[in-house]
């Protein structure tokens, strides 16, 4: 993910923490289909590829994309605020993990339209955003947080494009997870079956 001014907020992860995150903490990601019909939107250094090496990825950060390509992963370098370089209905699943909070709301409006376009009708868009403690921690560490994303923002962005099938905290229940920076709010958004594939 490339910020304005050329500064990247993507940080190469500690390999041990990356493994723990992929195989212990991220239960929802473990349950998703492990096919090439999954797009990791703003994939960064690609911890999700430890779970699904067949997935496709896209990011605006050249070093991260180069790193993943050197390992043989199918990743595109692109400005994700512009039309995505994939045909209509290309994917069954799109994931955005720790991503939406790095964009302003007007940017997200365009991004969500593009994700809707590249999903097949009936496809799912999985959104993972930090809880309040995680978001505030990111502000203190200056990792590029721009918007605290709640269900209200998700409902507004989804209007006329997606229905919200599920919303839950992970990995801990909300009552205790609110004390931990790595607890997420998870949303499963569904593109309605009746949608037509249009540009």
How many structural domains compose the chain?
Answer: 1
Cβ proximity of 10 and 66 under 8 Å: no
Give yes or no for residue 125 having a pLDDT over 50. yes
Q: Indicate whether 24 belongs to any domain.
A: yes
Cβ proximity of 64 and 80 under 8 Å: no
Cβ proximity of 8 and 63 under 8 Å: yes
Domain with 142, as residue range(s), is 10-190
Model pLDDT for residues 137-147, shown as the tens digit of each residue? 888 888 889 99
Q: Indicate whether 97 belongs to any domain.
A: yes
Give yes or no for residue 63 having a pLDDT over 70. yes
Q: Indicate whether 4 belongs to any domain.
A: no
Going by C-alpha positions, the residue among 45, 14, 52, 46 that lies closest to residue 30 is 52
The b-or-e profile of 66-84 (16+ CB within 10 A means b, else e) is ebbeeeebebbbbebbeeb
């Amino acid at each position: 993910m490339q910020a304005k001014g050329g500064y990247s907020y993507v940080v190469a992860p500690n390999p041990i923490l990356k493994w723990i995150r992929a195989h212990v903490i991220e239960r929802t990601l473990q349950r998703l289909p492990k096919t090439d019909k999954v797009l990791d939107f703003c994939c960064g250094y690609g911890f999700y590829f430890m779970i699904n090496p067949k997935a496709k990825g896209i990011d605006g950060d050249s070093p991260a994309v180069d790193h993943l390509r050197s390992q043989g992963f199918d990743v595109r370098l692109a400005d994700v605020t512009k039309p995505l370089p994939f045909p209509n209905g290309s994917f069954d699943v799109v994931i955005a993990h720790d991503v939406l909070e790095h964009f302003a709301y007007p940017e997200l409006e365009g991004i969500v339209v593009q994700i809707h376009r590249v999903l097949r009708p009936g496809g799912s868009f999985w959104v993972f955003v930090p809880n309040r403690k995680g978001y505030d921690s990111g502000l203190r560490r200056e990792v590029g947080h721009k918007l605290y994303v709640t269900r209200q923002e998700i409902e507004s962005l989804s209007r006329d494009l997606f229905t919200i099938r599920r919303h839950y905290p992970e990995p801990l229940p909300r009552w205790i997870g609110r004390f931990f920076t790595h607890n997420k709010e998870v949303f499963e958004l569904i593109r309605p079956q009746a949608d037509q594939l249009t540009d």
